[in-house]
Amino acid sequence: MKRYIIVGVAALLVFLAGVHLGVSYFSDVAKSSGNEVSTGDFDIGISKDGKRFYDDYKLFSFDNLAPGESRTFTFYVKNRGDYPVSSVGLLFNVTDLEDGSLSKAEALVDNTPEVGELSEYLTIADFRVEVNGTDTALSNYIGKTLREVNMSELSIFNGLLKPDEQIKVTITIKLSPSAGNECLTDSADVGLIITASQ
């Protein structure tokens, strides 16, 4: 009888285990897909008039400049991106060129007939930046020649330039009164590289 009780208890345990394992529980799953993380755009543009902005645009061309004369050009830098700009820099990339063969007057004094000398005599006579109606002279650069600032990044703005805001930059270039015949028929290719950082 003892054996029947043990077998009965064992059978009951197996039965209860089977009932417990066979019990069904409801379940459900919810999911989320297509979620994104993205960044905005960081973009500046340049313009002559402050209306239409470009990534690459010719801002000036000054011909037949005589010693002592100056010319002024103005351009605008706009934050076209989604983030504020905290600093703007300007890099002059100047290449001196001889325009063709030397004139008789130039040949007498020009010791480097294959390289122009013009940037040595082109001086920054005035350099101003206007932001939100406030005009600031960048006196650290006034009086320097284009040769002196060539390939050096000049800081023209530090602050907060919000999206769609712009700065106005005005630069006056003067041909030194001491420019002599070595500058005759010379030209300078002046590239401007405007940089911005967040």
CATH of the domain at 182: 2.60.40
130 part of a folded domain: yes
Burial level of 16, CB count in 10 A (0-12/13-18/19+)?
Answer: exposed
16 part of a folded domain: no
User: What distance in Å separates the CA atoms of residue 37 and residue 25, rounded to the nearest whole number?
Assistant: 37
24 part of a folded domain: no
pLDDT at 182: 72
Question: How do residues 1-59 score in pLDDT, each as one tens digit?
Answer: 666 666 666 666 666 556 555 556 777 788 888 788 888 889 999 999 999 999 999 99
27 part of a folded domain: no
10 part of a folded domain: no
7 part of a folded domain: no
Say if residue 109's pLDDT is above 60: no
Residues 6 or more apart from 156 whose CB is under 8 A from it? Answer: 88, 89, 90, 129, 138, 167, 169
Model pTM score? 0.78
85 lies in which domain range? 44-197
> Number of structural domains, the chain?
1
pLDDT at 105: 52
11 part of a folded domain: no
pLDDT more than 90, % of the chain:
60
36 part of a folded domain: no
